Structure 1
Amino acid sequence: MLEKLKEGLQSALKKLIGFSVIDEEAIKEFLRDIQRSLLMADVNVKLVFDLSKRIEKRALEEKLLPGISRKDHIIKILYEELTNIMGKEPIINLPPNKTNVVLLIGIQGSGKTTFAVKLAKFFQKKGYKVGVICADTYRPGAFSQLKMLTSKVNIDLYGDEKIKDAITLAKKGVDYFKAQGKNLVIIDTAGRHKEEKDLLMEMKEISTEINPDLTLLVVDGTIGQQCYSQAEAFNRTVKVGGIVVTKLDGTAKGGGALAAAAATGAQIMFISTGEKVDDIEVFSPTRFVGRLLGLGDIKTLLEKFKELELDEERIKKMMSGKITMEDFYLQLEQLRRMGSLKRLLELLPLPFDISSKEIEDLEDKLKVWKSIIQSMTKEERENPDIINSSRIKRIARGSGRSEADVRELLKRFKESKNLIKSSKGKVLRQMMGKIGKI
């Protein structure tokens, strides 16, 4: 996610850490690198230079706390200032004891329909009884697409291709799901352009008739800072309660989109980071910036484990690096359910870079590794160190894999243990020193 921006910011941090002396010129050079990275991510020019001035002023004038190095202090300032331009932590208030109605609006092509299903699944996993309404009467095949997507994830859908009035559809759908006892109803509307007055008026009428508990504006992350004018135009027509930024997995302009959306004053509530139905997360500026700077997001990772209902002791054991091949085997399928390995690794403060090609290779090997582990004895799973050449031959024959595959699994398993152990504190000590609670 936002790979170019991440690479640029982390490269600037590495350069800063490498300076022997942190003087005014070193700070200016550091800020030039930060500016370059943000501008390439399509962050608004004025926003970038205002940010730079604040960082420079604080870096030169703020008094250092005892035991804190100037490098650590500058990294802390960068973290805080980037977090500020990304907006506030979202507050999502949808009480489960009532029927909550969420209205999705946005221009055509923003990923609104796909997001409707992601949002439905997100809340279904949290125990909500969810229904989705197709109120898009303009786009050919809109109902068919939504029907296909919702059926795949067992979400109830209301729609009627014979009804051409979106307001009638929305009202009927809400009444239908209320009668079924749903406590969350998501309405997917037709795409609007900010200049299409008739469509904007219809959107306003739907909002007035339905009186939704939350209106979410879905914007395409690939349009960068144009998100600002888009959000402003929609907000003049209906009260936008929150913003959703989609397609952040495949754009260099995602940083600009997020900063622009936050500049409207509306909360960014969700981001969509991939094509899978689980590629959705509540947007947290603090966690997001931590990942951009390579500081990890252990809290989100633990939440993902919690969704899988893993044993707490097993999580702690895994995070400490004290895992056996048995633990590894039990988690393979569950890890696959959590999303791509690439996204999971983003949540860890890794002490070195892992290329996209390496991550893809690892994902391809998960099935191979599973069959290899199944061919091990219980003793071998609990203590892989006892696996010698003769055992490798036997395991390879039993799994139908090559001896090279078995050896690579053992090698990767050891590397993973070491990686998790080292990531627990090494990077925080190196890059953040004693900054502490951020």
Structure 2
Amino acid sequence: MTDAPKYGFETLQIHAGARPDPATGARQTPIYQTTAYVFRDAEHAAALFNLQEVGYIYSRLTNPTVAVLQERVATLEGGAGAVCCASGHAAQIMALFPLMQPGCNVVVSTRLYGGSVTQFSQTIKRFGWEAHFVDVDDTDAVAAAVDDKTRAIFCESIANPGGHIADLRALADIADDAGIPLIVDNTTASPYLCRPIEHGATLVVHSMTKYLTGNGTVTGGCVVDSGKFDWSASDKFPSLSQPEEAYHGLKFHETFGPLAFTFHGIAIGLRDLGMTLNPQAAHYTLMGIETLSLRMERHVENAKRVAEWLEQHDRVSAVTYAGLKSSPYYDRVAKYCPKGASGLFTVQLKGGYDACVKFVDSLELFSHVANLGDTRSLVIHSASTTHRQLSAEQLKAADAGPDVVRISIGTENADDIIADLDQALNKAG
């Protein structure tokens, strides 16, 4: 689909990147379940290994099924290219890997998924990297946290679990002034609801496990490159601007231009880190994306109705859904997520921790799982599960306190969802 910009989102989610299989004419993208690929001859093999020709060598690096998925997600996000990998957490490391060196830091939002907080606050230290956590609503604090060792700003477009919407344009302006990229985790929104690149983001990451796949069957991650950042404007990003010894002095930005980050992610990131997405998982995700717009419309419709109902319930203290007029983020919905604020938010119960546990255990239609973005409605008590490694201060900053439950609204009948919530709230007391 070389003329992709003329097509609407609903068409691109079905067709982008996909073509009938040249060998069989198969219309659905085949699962290329193969480890390696036969070279035409020795010259062809050498050209592939030297990055002089694009093609398939070994499925740790590239795979035809995964390649279709990469092109589709990049197209939907409005990016130049994408690299798919094994999970959303893998995508975050893949995004940072070409940017960071020992001693460098990344400025990170305090409103992140608990596992991401742990990854940034603990795990990346083993690479010699550091994270400076800041409330991204305080743009002065964000700007103050950036120093000469900062290599990126990282946030979620719609925060997990609280559903808060980041002011992407303001963060992008700070990043631009500092000459560093803004990385946005767009998992909760999906490209149907929010396109961070249009608001200044350099890189977009996804846990494709969630809304993109939408059926709770596989894990997967993706890094989308806008193709708009000048990696050679300073000496901050030598992996992209300086000679790469492993490829005889090739300079990625000089050689590949807007696709520099994408080629580096494959030729270096996947080659050395090996966080490869398997082709069957890519196939499931491709099938899920075909219905993304339909599902997101229903998620938003149900979430808005359920949140409005919960806000009036006498056992509920607060609801964080940004689509509510009472939300401090309501005005940002129109700017960044004009089609809706997704289906994820938290509910604070008046009965505290014990009421939350009883509530979760009393739900019947909802599934109690550590996931979100499924067609099924899901629930979890973040403080005792996904965010349990966090301190009390971190829990408060992430809106995951002991009296809070996270709800991911599915695509079921809204009346059924409300009925289940009602009976569980009544049992929770």
TM-score of the superposed pair, with normalisation by structure 1: 0.28
Larger Rg: 1
The structure with the greater share of residues assigned to helix is 1
